[in-house]
Structure 1
Amino acid sequence: MGFLDIRNVTKSYGSVEVLHRVDISAEEGEFLVLVGPSGCGKSTLLNMIAGLEAISSGDIAINGRVVNGVHPSKRNIAMVFQSYALYPNMTVGQNITFGLEMHGVPKPERDKALAQVAKLLQIDHLLDRKPAQLSGGQRQRVAMGRALVRNPDVFLFDEPLSNLDAKLRVDMRTEIKKLHQRLGRTIVYVTHDQIEAMTLSTRIAVMNKGYVQQFGTPKEIYDTPSNLFVASFMGSPSMNLIPAKVAVENGAPHVVVMDAEGQARLLRLSQPALSAWSGREIVLGVRPEAITDPEGADRKSLNVQPLKNRVTVTEPAGSDTFVTTTLGGKDIIARMRADASVSPGEVFDFAVNMDKAVAFDPVTENRIA
């Protein structure tokens, strides 16, 4: 059992089931991220943890106590909303301590808690201002302060950064991570942004169409996606998914892929078990950083395969250069060093780290190796 246990939970609206047998467990102090596209059920699940939505079946337990049917105010949780939900007629200080006042906490205790939280969030100079006088980032800090001051068992964040501009999102992401490291409290965080999910979490639940597609650490999700949806959704740029066929050469499994000129190319696989798929179609998954120039290839890898192929597009991106070529009739992206000398139209010597490649069944869409 974990500190937060979601056991076989479903949610239905009438005859329509929108969440299907969700099983997730988070230990105390973990940063759990629920990530997925719009409409996948992640906010519904968060609202069920908060008690804002009823559970159709299954159990949710917090700190060993089943909270099905328990009123939100009795769950010892605190929620930070996407819209901040600040009272416009109250000062920052009043917004932060309003919940404590409603619970009858004496003023000296409220003032002490306010001072601690304001210092932690670096908003002590804003306590007498009204929300209309604050920037988006400052409002977000106030919303977080209102949650922190309650000292809950679990913090729930519902897409808290989606209203901020790109630079402020990055800054606030860092602040939230620092906050988690200082407090060591359990956080459940909903986002559709897979970069947020990867950078903030200790564990991720990737959701789609009401199902948990994969639950694991960021490294597990990124390196060994359980299916084609997770492979394509997680990562920026996303994993290259290349139609290929398995062939056994000299006793070892290889993949046959068609290059930009329509010629068959052979790449040795690193998974011996794929010999059983000889003659069958697969989808080969390779992250962009596993396709590079020979000088930039991973020196520790035991299986870097050379591949001559024509370059179609180059995109300098500061610290990296993204190079587009064609394999298996699809555009694929290679991630190279900023100073890699690559030009559109040339035939280039790519290096493919096949130790990092994974294989998917094109029928079931599940990873097979």
Structure 2
Amino acid sequence: MGFLDIKNVTKSYGAVEVLHRVDISVQEGEFLVLVGPSGCGKSTLLNMIAGLEGISSGTISIDERVMNGVHPSKRNIAMVFQSYALYPNMTVGQNMTFGLEMHGVPKPEREAALKDVAKLLQIENLLDRKPGQLSGGQRQRVAMGRALVRQPDVFLFDEPLSNLDAKLRVDMRTEIKKLHDKLKTTIVYVTHDQIEAMTLSTRIAVMYQGYVQQLGTPKEIYDTPANVYVATFMGSPAMNVLPVRVVMRDGVPHAAVRAQDGAEQYLRFSQSNLAAWDGREILLGVRPEAITDPDGADRNSANIVPLSNRIGVTEPAGADTFVTMELGGRDVIARMRADANVVSGQDFTFAVNMEKAVAFDPASEERIAP
């Protein structure tokens, strides 16, 4: 049993079920990120944890106490909204301690909590200002501070960085990570940004169409995606997924793929269980960084396979160069070193790290486990 337990939870609006049998157990001090596209149900689930939405079936418990039907004010949770939701007529200090005041916390305790949190967030010099006098990043710190002073059981973040510009978003992401490392608080964080999910979380729940597609650590989600949806949603650029035929050569399964010139080439799999798929088509998933030039290949891998093909588009991107080529009738992206000698239109021998390859069933789009 976890500190926050979500057991077989569903949510319906009339006859339409929008969340389907969600089971997630969050340990105390864990940072869980709910990630997925708009409309996948992640914010609905967060609001159910907060008590802002009712539960159609199942149970949500915090510290072994069932929260079904419990008013939000009685749940000892704190929520940080996308819109900050600060009172414009109050100072920063008043905004941060208003909740404590409403709960009858004595003034000396409120002031002590405000002083500690303001120091932690480095906003001591902003306490007498109004929200309208603050930048977006400062307002976000105040919204976080208002949650922190209450010392709740669970912090809920609803896309808190989506209103910030790109650089500030990165900076605030780092601050939230530092804060969690220091306080070891239990956090449930909603975002549509898979980079935020990967960098902040201890575990990720990838959601789509009201279902949890996969629950796992960032490494598990990235390296062993449960299905094609997770594989292509998590990662930038996304995992390459292309149809291949399994061919047995010398007793070892290989992926038969067609290069741009039509020639069939064979990529040796590392997982032996694919022998059962001999002669059948599967979907091969390979991350862009697992396709590179021979000098840039992972020297720790025991299964680097050469692949000859024509270079399509090259895209210099500072630390990396992205190369697009046609493989199996689809565009495939390779991630090269910045100084890789690649030229559009030229033939090139790529190095494919097949230890990082993932196989999917083309019918169900589920991963074929080793």
Query: What TM-score, normalized to structure 2?
Result: 0.99
- Return structure 1 stretches of 4+ with deviation > 4 angstroms: none
Percentage of identical aligned residues:
79
CA distance in 2: counterparts of 1:242 and 1:20, whole angstroms: 30
CA distance in 1: counterparts of 2:261 and 2:296, whole angstroms: 25
CA-CA distance at 1:119 after TM superposition: 0.4
CA-CA distance at 1:261 after TM superposition: 1.2
RMSD between aligned alpha carbons? 0.5
Name the counterpart of 2:75. Answer: 75
User: Which structure 2 residue ranges, 5 or more long, are not aligned?
Assistant: none
Give the counterpart letter for 1:160 in structure 2.
P
The one-character-per-residue Cα deviations of 1:122-178 (angstroms, maximum 9, x if unpaired) are: 000000000000000000000000000000000000000000000000000000000
CA-CA distance at 1:260 after TM superposition: 1.3
CA-CA distance at 1:89 after TM superposition: 0.3
Name the counterpart of 2:133. Answer: 133
1:186 aligns with 2:220: no
1:147 aligns with 2:150: no
Name the counterpart of 2:160. Answer: 160
1:336 aligns with 2:336: yes
CA distance in 2: counterparts of 1:341 and 1:257, whole angstroms: 24
- Partner secondary structure for residue 105 of structure 1: coil
- Partner secondary structure for residue 84 of structure 2: coil
Counting matched residue pairs gives 369
Name the counterpart of 1:48. Answer: 48
1:243 aligns with 2:243: yes
Name the counterpart of 2:260. Answer: 260
CA-CA distance at 1:298 after TM superposition: 0.6
CA distance in 2: counterparts of 1:206 and 1:262, whole angstroms: 37
CA-CA distance at 1:292 after TM superposition: 0.4
- Partner secondary structure for residue 225 of structure 2: coil
CA distance in 2: counterparts of 1:220 and 1:45, whole angstroms: 23
- Partner secondary structure for residue 182 of structure 1: helix
Name the counterpart of 1:212. Answer: 212
The one-character-per-residue Cα deviations of 1:15-70 (angstroms, maximum 9, x if unpaired) are: 00000000001110000000000000000000000000000000001111111111
- Partner secondary structure for residue 6 of structure 2: strand
CA distance in 2: counterparts of 1:165 and 1:317, whole angstroms: 20
Give the counterpart letter for 2:229 in structure 1.
F
Give the counterpart letter for 1:154 in structure 2.
V
The one-character-per-residue Cα deviations of 1:73-93 (angstroms, maximum 9, x if unpaired) are: 111100000000000000000
Question: What does residue range 77-96 of structure 1 map to in structure 2 within 5 Å?
Answer: 77-96=77-96
Name the counterpart of 1:61. Answer: 61
Give the counterpart letter for 1:239 in structure 2.
M
1:8 aligns with 2:8: yes
1:23 aligns with 2:13: no
User: Which structure 1 residue ranges, 5 or more long, are not aligned?
Assistant: none
Give the counterpart letter for 2:327 in structure 1.
L
Give the counterpart letter for 2:121 in structure 1.
L
Give the counterpart letter for 1:194 in structure 2.
Q
Question: What does residue range 85-124 of structure 1 map to in structure 2 within 5 Å?
Answer: 85-124=85-124
- Partner secondary structure for residue 311 of structure 2: strand
CA distance in 2: counterparts of 1:282 and 1:94, whole angstroms: 60
Give the counterpart letter for 1:43 in structure 2.
S
Question: What does residue range 224-303 of structure 1 map to in structure 2 within 5 Å?
Answer: 224-303=224-303
CA distance in 2: counterparts of 1:98 and 1:272, whole angstroms: 61
CA distance in 1: counterparts of 2:334 and 2:123, whole angstroms: 43
- Partner secondary structure for residue 345 of structure 1: coil
Give the counterpart letter for 1:293 in structure 2.
D
CA distance in 1: counterparts of 2:151 and 2:161, whole angstroms: 22
- Partner secondary structure for residue 179 of structure 2: helix
The one-character-per-residue Cα deviations of 1:220-273 (angstroms, maximum 9, x if unpaired) are: 000000000000100000000011010101110001011111211111111110
The one-character-per-residue Cα deviations of 1:257-298 (angstroms, maximum 9, x if unpaired) are: 111112111111111100100011111000000000001101
1:304 aligns with 2:333: no
Name the counterpart of 1:315. Answer: 315
CA distance in 2: counterparts of 1:10 and 1:200, whole angstroms: 27
Query: What TM-score, normalized to structure 1?
Result: 0.99
- Partner secondary structure for residue 68 of structure 2: coil
